[in-house]
Amino acid sequence: RGLPGRAGVGRAPVRGSPRGRPPARRCPQRDPHGAPLPYTLGVRGNPYLRGPRLAPAVTSPALFVLRGIPYLSKHRADRVKRLGDFLNRESFDLALLEEVWSEQDFQYLRQKLLPAYPAAHYFRRTWLFSGIIGSGLCVFSKHPIQEFTQHVFTLNGYPYMIHHGDWFCGKAVGLLVLRLGGLVLNAYVTHLHAEYNRQKDIYLAHRVAQAWELAQFIHHTSKKADVVLLCGDLNLHPKDLGFRLLKEWTGLQDAYLETRDFKGPEEGCTMVPQNCYVNRQELEQFPLGIRIDYVLYKAVSGLYIFCKTLRTTTGHEPHGGSPLSDHEALMATLCVRHSPPQHNPSPTHAERSPLISVLREAWTELDQGMAQGRWWATIAGYVIGLGLLLLALLCALAAGGEIREVAVLLWTPSVGLVLGAGAFYLFHVQEAKGLCRARAELQHVLGRAREAQDLGSESQPAGLLGQQEVDRAEEQ
């Protein structure tokens, strides 16, 4: 969620929710630093902590242009300081932060956390001119970061929706490759476009395209990883199309659904009305709050990963003061143990159906988005024509000598109109192309999934769920 405002402070119910996983078995692993770590392989401790909400008014267009967030946010310095103390106290293996818009804050935290988290990275971003603010994503790690890279989403809202402002933030996914206990862990941190109006969501196609790009990025870059971890503010409810698409295509599991030991607000909500930085009006339909921040994971065949505990904050700071995080911070303990490699058979008809169904649904959504983009481009084309006619008329009037001054005065706004409409036209043409590209990729995957389903072929498409596991099992 992009722009929670200020609201009252309260306390959310806390519950422990046992679920269907068997009790975890201890499996001591060798830490890269030599100490045995029970319950480790992959990520011990708390892999996800959402960053500080830097300003309730962060989407004011003036902020973006002035980069004034550090000066406009009353609580920023205090929260960043307290966040540093908290991270030092808790000593997670991996702390992933979002919406840290100021690199100075990152540098401050980096210095403060250096002894406890020797490795850190700030995902800078440039995208002309979208994403001028940066990605706001950063990470602190106890373990050396082997590699990192990032991918900025092609589509990310509209530049003229200045009051929403997502376009000016480079919504992206960052990838870190770590080696823990001999395993390769690919940790992804991301932030998708916000949803501002659930009833009439003009960004739906963009968010579906982002979810698809995210899924594709994970799919293509994690083929050699033993463990995949994705943390982020997806701005998607658990049953939303984008979230289902992501889960079906990557095979990631939802820590909240999988863990037997959850403590946090009802329904695992991560944006709750008790948090003083959340705008209660946005939660009118959801009195308990919404769950839009996630810890997702998976492991290759031969490894079994589970979430031992999942904790979230409950909308207020236990020691007083404003909350550190505007969305509730997620703190998980993930455990990985060896299990006999299983040769996954080709997915059956029933197993493929959810993927095909969600791909079809996403295809339709992207297609509608394309039609919408083209429609806006057409409208802009008419406005350009109109503007050019007006300019010609003004030229004629100025040349004729009558109402010359008025004609000259109207010249600037008319040029502005044509240029603005031109930019609008180009933007929506490009939007349609971007959606078309995502749709083409999706259609290809859908085609192959259908082929496999129709033919009952044993040669499962490389992209289908479980392919990685099958490959790994074949090698072993």
Among 375, 399, 426, 457, binds a second copy (CB under 8 A): 426
Nearer to a second copy, 121 or 291 (CB): 121
- Span near a second copy by CB under 8 A; candidates 51-59, 104-112, 339-347, 467-475: 467-475
Helices 76-90 & 103-113 angle (0-180, nearest 10):
30
Among 288, 386, 436, 473, binds a second copy (CB under 8 A): 436
**Residue 465's Cα: distance from chain center in Å?**
21
Q: Read off the DSSP letter of residue 164.
A: T
- Span near a second copy by CB under 8 A; candidates 40-48, 218-226, 313-321, 336-344: 218-226
Site map (CB under 8 A) of a second copy, residues 219-238, x = contact: xxx-xx--------------
Least distance CB 408 / a second copy (angstroms): 5
Instruction: Kindly state the tokens that stand for 78.
Output: 């205090």
Active site residue 327: yes
Cis peptide before 129 (omega within 30 of 0): yes
Nearer to a second copy, 5 or 68 (CB): 68
Interface with a second copy includes 405 (CB under 8 A)? yes
Interface with a second copy includes 6 (CB under 8 A)? no
Interface with a second copy includes 411 (CB under 8 A)? yes
Contacts (CB under 8 A) with a second copy, residues 158-217: 175, 177, 179, 184, 216
Which residue do the tokens 């904050």 mark?
A: 313
Interface with a second copy includes 409 (CB under 8 A)? yes
Contacts (CB under 8 A) with a second copy, residues 95-124: 121, 124
Among 127, 203, 277, 297, binds a second copy (CB under 8 A): 127
Length of the chain equals 476
Least distance CB 177 / a second copy (angstroms): 6
Among 130, 141, 275, 309, binds a second copy (CB under 8 A): 130
Least distance CB 331 / a second copy (angstroms): 27
- Sign for the CA dihedral angle at 156, 438, 257, 45 comes to negative
Interface with a second copy includes 149 (CB under 8 A)? yes
> Cβ contacts of residue 127 below 8 Å, gap of 6+?
152, 170
- Strands, sheet with 330-338, edge to edge from the N-terminal-most edge strand: 15-16, 262-264, 303-312, 330-338
Interface with a second copy includes 395 (CB under 8 A)? no
Strand bridging mode 262-264 / 303-312? parallel
- Alpha carbon of 381 to those of 39, 99, 159, 318: distances in Å? 61, 37, 18, 56
- Does an H or E element contain 367, and which? helix 349-400
DSSP code per residue over 376-407: HHHHHHHHHHHHHHHHHHHHHHHHHTTTHHHH
Amino acid letter at 88? N
191, 219, 327, 428: which one is catalytic? 327
Q: Is 176 exposed, middle or buried (0-12, 13-18, 19+ CB in 10 A)?
A: buried
- Site size toward a second copy (CB under 8 A) is 55
Active-site residue numbers? 327
Binding site for a second copy (CB under 8 A): 121, 124-130, 132, 145-152, 154, 175, 177, 179, 184, 216, 219-221, 223-224, 405, 408-409, 411-412, 415, 426-427, 429-431, 433-434, 436-437, 440-441, 444-445, 448, 461-463, 468, 471, 475-476
